[in-house]
């Protein structure tokens, strides 16, 4: 994982030929959607996949590009380094790969305007609720936003999806409902079934 010279940290895994025709994608927040939210996760040992995530991603993969988009201001706040964050993401991707699940890309914004590290202190256009990460992927793969979905557990995720012109689903318990979400689902598995019905 490398830090781009401007304001985004990006890891992209390329596209397989069989996926070149895909014009729809599922954008996935990390904490609370794919893994349990540990509040500034700073160690590989703390990665805990949420129940049903692998099955849901396997079901979605033939129909959608799978793109993780995550704010990680812990870097800007000095809670962990960019190198440690890269280790965590490499370990997460390895866990997915062991179960034959592969993301098309991972986009990560380590910046925050109130950070304590000068090199990461910025009002970043890629930090959700700004839609920068999503818009980059839409342009890169000529995606149709109306056929894409943003999944997250925070209002910032819903607003990012809204800003990119796509439906946004809140993942979490009933009290996690958001006025900015198009729908709410208890977990990724429930959301996947709804998206597959839409894709079909």
29 is catalytic: yes
Domains of the chain: 2-199 (3.40.50.1000)
Q: Which of 6, 29, 90, 144 is catalytic?
A: 29
pTM of the predicted model over 0.75 = yes
Q: How far is CA 52 from CA 170, 188, 190, 191, in A?
A: 16, 7, 9, 11
Estimate the share of the chain in helix, then strand, then coil, as percent rounded to the nearest 5.
35, 20, 45
Catalytic residue among 31, 104, 153, 157: 31
Residue 37 known to be catalytic:
no
Q: Could you list the pLDDT tens digit for every one of the 200 residues in the chain?
A: 333 333 334 454 544 445 678 899 999 999 999 999 998 999 999 999 999 999 999 999 999 999 999 999 888 898 888 999 999 999 999 999 999 999 999 999 999 888 888 888 889 999 999 999 999 999 999 999 999 999 999 999 999 999 999 999 999 987 666 789 999 999 999 999 999 998 76
pLDDT of 18? 53
């Amino acid at each position: 994982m490398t830090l781009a010279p401007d304001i985004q940290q990006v890891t992209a895994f390329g596209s397989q030929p069989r996926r070149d025709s895909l014009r729809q994608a599922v954008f996935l927040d990390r904490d609370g959607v794919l893994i349990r939210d540990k509040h500034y996760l700073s160690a590989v040992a703390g990665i805990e996949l949420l129940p049903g995530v692998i099955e849901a991603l396997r079901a979605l993969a033939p129909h959608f590009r799978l793109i993780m988009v995550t704010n990680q201001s812990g870097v800007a706040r000095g809670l962990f380094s960019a190198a440690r964050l890269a280790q965590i993401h490499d370990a997460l991707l390895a866990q997915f790969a062991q179960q034959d699940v592969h993301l098309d890309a991972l986009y990560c914004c380590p910046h925050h305007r109130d950070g304590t590290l000068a090199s990461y202190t910025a009002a970043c256009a890629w930090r959700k609720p700004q839609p920068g990460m999503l818009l980059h992927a839409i342009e890169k793969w000529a995606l149709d936003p109306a056929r894409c979905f943003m999944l997250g557990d925070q209002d910032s995720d819903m607003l990012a999806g809204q800003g990119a012109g796509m439906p946004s689903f809140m993942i979490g318990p009933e009290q996690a409902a958001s006025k900015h979400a198009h729908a709410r689902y208890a977990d990724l598995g429930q959301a996947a079934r709804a998206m597959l019905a839409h894709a079909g």
